[in-house]
A and B are shown apart, each in its own frame.
Chain A
Amino acid sequence: MEREDFPGEETPLEYQTETGEYNIFGFWMFLGAEIVLFSTLFGTYFVLIYRTASSIPPTEVFSMGLVLVMTFTLLTSSFTSGLAIHEMRLGNVTRMLIWIGITLVLGLGFLGMEIYEFVEYASEGATLATSAYWSSFFLLLGTHGLHVAMGVAWFIIILIQIKMRGLTPATANKTFIASLYWHFLDVIWIFIFTGVYLLRLVIA
């Protein structure tokens, strides 16, 4: 649906249709629900934080080096996805695609490291079924990781669509929403980094 009231030059592409505007607002509502979802997971994690039931404690397996690299990878990817939106606003499709590509590579790198981390922990005896602590750890991080994987798949689909159809109000709208999602996952990771890793390794 084309907007009747403000189709001005100033309006960014992703806001130019009524549907596009609804999609973005609806996605903010969805992110509200996602905040509740992750809050519940964090709440569970903090309730169970000392309940390792005489199995392996997190301090024995957490490796801060890897987690720091993961953190920098994901934070950088959030930055590059922001640059992609910046280029989109300027109408530089090629540069926008490149930045999305870099975001994807960083996202996949993060996922690879997370899978490596999980396998490593499992080999040291910390799995989903080891204790309540580890159940909540893997559910919280696994949910975040699954979201990242979904985000990667989503960005790939959008890349294909921009290649096929160019930068239209519809594809711009999708890219903008996907980048909102990507920033959100980044914010969640900051809470994971402090609440899960820093809390156990540095503070307690």
Chain B
Amino acid sequence: MNLDWDEFIVTGEPFIHAGQISILLTTLGIIFVLTYFKKWKWLWKEWVTSVDHRKIGIMYIIASVLMLIRAGVDAMMMRTQLAVPEMPFLGEAQHYNEIFTTHGTIMIIFVATPFLIGLMNVATPLQIGARDVAFPFLNNLSFWTFFWGAMLFNISFVIGGAPDAGWSAYMPLASNDLSPGPGQNFYLLGLQITGIGTLATGINFVVTILKMRAKGMTLMRMPMFTWTTLITSLIIIGAFPILTVALAMQTFDRLWDTAFFTLQDGGMPMMWVNLFWLWGHPEVYIVILPAFGIFSEIITTFARKRLFGYTSMVFAIAAISGLSFLVWVHHFFTMGAGPMVNSFFSISTMAIAIPTGVKIFNWLATLHRGRIQFSVPMVWALGFIPNFTIGGVTGVMLAMAAADYQYHNTYFLVSHFHYVLIAGTIFACFAGTIYWWPKMFGLKLNARLGHWMFWLFMIGFNVCFFPQYFLGLDGMPRRIYTYFPEDGWFGLNFISTVGAFMMGIAFVIFVYNIYYSYRYQPRETTGDPWGGRGRTLEWATSSAVPPHYNFAKIPEVKGQDAFWQMKQDGIDPNEIVEYQDIHMPNNTGNPFIMCVFMFIGGFGLVFHWWPIAIIGAIGIFICMIQRSFSRDNGHIVSAEEVRKEEEGIREGQAHENG
């Protein structure tokens, strides 16, 4: 690629200059703080190299929240641009294209997916009574592939130029001819690197859940979140390799002039569309099923009842996961597949509403006659049900192939998928984070601020997206960067923008709540912080990160809602007659270094700088060989240490209670 040095750094747009300056200042700020407080070694030893699933989960969540801020700022810039007709805010269409592309890509790949994987990391091993995941090294590697893949994608807006072909990157729009420059390459390689880690996570959790359950925890006694983690992991294994291949083919088309997706030389653009959605549709369920699991946990806990229809819930998830692979064509009904094909995919899409409906009724039945406590996680779960249902019902409307010709590529669609993805996934991310916050950090987030955030976000969300259904029915296409006063879309667009900013403010309250709670909230010592309502095993062990072995003694499971059962039977899971040595894995810096080389290699490919790409590849191989030869067998936490740790926790509890 012939790239002049003055094109290397993106110039011209005031917002991008502001972005560059803020990135520079933030980086310098972080370096200064870490150096001033002498925290580099701590960061490396305690976090970067950690193989502890809870710490990895926390790192996932922190990184996802940072990505959420970036993609959220993108969203507010778009909403500002569309607030009034002929708005000059973003200058030109190109800039708008880049912003909606990065907004979509980051929200799906670098927020929703890793956020949920973070929560899986925090909760799933605890829920099944395991000490860690099956492959702790691989777990650390997965996190860093996500992190460095995200970094590679994100630097595109200050270096080289951002991708502009939409998050679905349709060919030939994403080809060299129509998307010149390195922007689309950043998309391809950033996603490719992240995808490796996601696949590894899928394998890791399947093995963890199938092989490492505590004694007595049969499959049909597993908590619902563990079930959704298992099924999601299986979908990941089935879907992500498709993305890997599709991305590789587009990369080849752009870098080595192959002809997979361009009509020239016989390629087929439709094949990209098919492969993309053959991954992309299951991906929708990768980010919604764990959310269902989180809500199931929260609703049972705060309704103080067993989950209604547990078995039907499991079958519903399994059915949804199967159907998720059979509906991908509904993303392009209007591309001329013919009535038979469209009918098949129309019906298979509508069929998904059946198991989903089963789940909704199960949640409602669980609430029925429950002793409901309106805690912050619970209000998110309760808010989820009606909002998600609105998204689901409009989804069925879209599933009617004939009617889809009317809605296709309008704001009706935009509103639909925001209703399912925000009310489903994002609500669940907030709910799950608040719910498991005491497990991660040893304190509860402030409830008053939590309720403020919830109401602002809930109202803002509906104010933002409900008008968009009507904008869509009124014919406003998606992805336009401006419109005329005579189009008549001003009023609803303006309302929508107000809603977007309300959500922004709600998020600021969330961030403030984290700071406020860290300073002023009382520390949690019981391990079962939600008023003793905890039902599953993660609440049977002490709070917060330190006891890295999870359970001093692996609990024995006697039924569903294992911890609740123990409480009923008067069993103290922490009562230990004899302490035993615990074998734990060692920390390792190898994955971090390997992923830095992946970043370097990816960066070289983006700019066709082969020597840099080769350096990256060699670095990756050296790390792999190092790993193969290492004889790291982990370490033993001696019975004595376990006893000290556990007695310390007991004393803390006695202090709190006494």
Contact residues of A with B, CB < 8 Å? 1, 21-22, 25-26, 29-30, 32-34, 36-37, 40-41, 44, 47-48, 51-53, 55, 128-133, 135-136, 139, 157, 161, 165, 170, 174
Is A40 a contact of B256 with CB atoms below 8 Å? Answer: no
Q: How far is the CA of A40 from the CA of B583 in the complex (A)?
A: 41
Q: Given that A29-B206, A161-B628 are contacting pairs, would A48 and B257 also be in contact in the complex, using a CB cutoff of 8 Å?
A: no
**Which residues 192-228 of B sit at the A interface, judged by CB distance below 8 A?**
199, 202-204, 206-207, 210-211
Determine if B245 is an interface residue (Cβ-Cβ < 8 Å): yes
Say how far A203's CB is from chain B's closest CB, in angstroms.
21
Q: Please report the C-alpha to C-alpha distance between residue A71 and residue B550 in the assembled complex, in whole angstroms.
A: 51
Whole-angstrom CA separation of A41 from B242 in the bound complex:
9
Picked from A128, A170, A174, the residue with its CB within 8 Å of the CB of B256 is A128
Asked whether A32 lies within 8 Å of B237 as measured between CB atoms, the reply is: yes
**A36-B238 contact, Cβ under 8 Å, with A22-B135, A22-B207, A139-B249:** yes
Per-residue CB proximity of B613-636 to A under 8 Å, as 1/0? 000000000000100110100000
**Residue among B199, B203, B211, B265 making CB contact with A53, cutoff 8 Å:** B265
- How far, in Å, is A157 (CB) from chain B's closest CB? 5
* Contact status A36-B241, CB under 8 Å: yes
Flag if A129 contacts B258 (CB, 8 Å). Answer: yes
* A-B CB contact pairs (8 Å), 18 listed: A22-B211, A29-B206, A29-B237, A33-B240, A36-B237, A37-B241, A40-B245, A40-B246, A41-B245, A44-B275, A48-B271, A51-B268, A130-B265, A133-B266, A135-B258, A135-B259, A157-B625, A165-B631
Asked if A48 contacts B266 (CB within 8 A), the reply is yes
Q: Indicate whether A48 sits within 8 Å of B203 (C-beta atoms), given known contacts A36-B238, A132-B260.
A: no
B260 touches A129 (CB 8 A): no
Which residue of chain A has the shortest Cβ distance to B260 in the bound complex? Answer: A135
Q: What is the number of residues of chain B that contact chain A, defined by CB distance less than 8 Å?
A: 39
Contacting residue for B266 out of A131, A161, A170, CB 8 A: A131
Tell me if B271 and A26 are in contact (CB < 8 A). no
Interface contact A52-B266, CB-CB below 8 Å:
yes
A52's closest neighbor in chain B, by CB?
B266
With contact pairs A36-B242, A128-B256, A132-B267 given, residues A26 and B199 touching in the complex (Cβ less than 8 Å): no
A29 shortest CB reach to chain B, Å: 4
Smallest distance from the beta carbon of A47 to chain B beta carbons, Å?
6
Determine the chain B residues whose CB is within 8 A of the CB of A51 once the complex forms.
266-268
CB-based contact A135/B237 at 8 Å:
no
A21–B134 CA distance with the chains assembled, in angstroms: 10
Q: Is there an interface contact between A26 and B259, defined as CB atoms closer than 8 Å?
A: no
Q: Which residues of A contact B202 (CB under 8 A)?
A: 29, 33
Residues of B with C-beta under 8 A to A52: 266
A160 nearest in chain B by CB position: B629
CA distance A89 to B426 in the complex (A): 52
Known interface pairs A33-B202, A33-B240; 6 further A-B residue pairs with C-beta atoms within 8 A, sorted by A's residue number: A36-B239, A40-B245, A136-B260, A157-B625, A157-B628, A161-B629
Instruction: Enumerate chain A residues within 8 angstroms of B246, measured Cβ to Cβ.
Output: 40
| In the complex, chain A residues whose CB is within 8 Å of the CB of B206 | 26, 29
From the candidates A26, A130, A135, name the one contacting B207 in the complex (CB within 8 A).
A26
A36 to B268, CA, bound (A): 21
B135 engages A26 (CB within 8 Å): yes
Which residue from chain A places its CB closest to the CB of B210 in the assembled complex? A25
Binding site for A on B (CB under 8 A): 134-135, 199, 202-204, 206-207, 210-211, 237-242, 244-246, 248-249, 252, 256-260, 264-268, 271, 275, 583, 625, 628-629, 631
Q: What is the distance, in angstroms, from A156's C-beta to the closest C-beta of chain B?
A: 10
CB distance from B605 to the nearest CB of A (A): 16
Cα–Cα, bound, A133→B135 (Å): 40
How far, in whole Å, are A1 and B210 apart by their CA atoms in the complex? 18
Look across to chain A and name the residue whose beta carbon is closest to the beta carbon of B258.
A135
Q: Which residues of chain B are within 8 angstroms of A133 by Cβ–Cβ distance?
A: 266
Tell whether, in the assembled complex, residue A55 and residue B265 are in contact, meaning their CB atoms are under 8 Å apart. yes
Quick one: given A33-B203, A36-B237, A36-B242, are A25 and B211 in contact (CB under 8 Å)? yes
* Residue from A22, A25, A161 whose CB has the most chain B CB atoms within 10 Å: A22
Cβ-defined contact, B241 with A40, below 8 A: yes
Residues of A within 8 A of B625 (CB): 157
Residues of chain B contacted by A21 (CB below 8 angstroms): 211
Query: Given the complex of chains A and B, what is the CA–CA distance between A132 and B269 in angstroms?
Result: 11
- Within the complex, what minimum Cβ distance (angstroms) separates A11 from chain B? 16
The residue in chain B whose Cβ has the minimal distance to the Cβ of A174 is B628
- Expressed in whole angstroms, the minimum distance between the Cβ of B123 and any Cβ of chain A is 20
In Å, the complex CA distance between A170 and B627 comes to: 13
Q: Which of B211, B240, B241, B268 contacts A47 (CB 8 A)?
A: B268
Contact of A25 with B266 at beta-carbon distance under 8 Å, contacts A33-B237, A44-B245, A132-B260 already known? no
Most B-side CB within 10 Å, residue of A32, A40, A48, A136: A40
Residues of chain A within 8 A (CB-CB) of B629 are 157, 161
Q: Which of B211, B241, B256 contacts A129 (CB 8 A)?
A: B256
Q: Is the Cβ of A34 less than 8 Å from the Cβ of B259?
A: no
Q: Given A48-B266, A51-B268, A135-B267, do A128 and B210 touch, yes or no (CB 8 Å)?
A: no
- Give every chain B residue within 8 A of A128 (Cβ-Cβ): 252, 256-258
Residues on B with beta carbons closer than 8 Å to the beta carbon of A1: 583
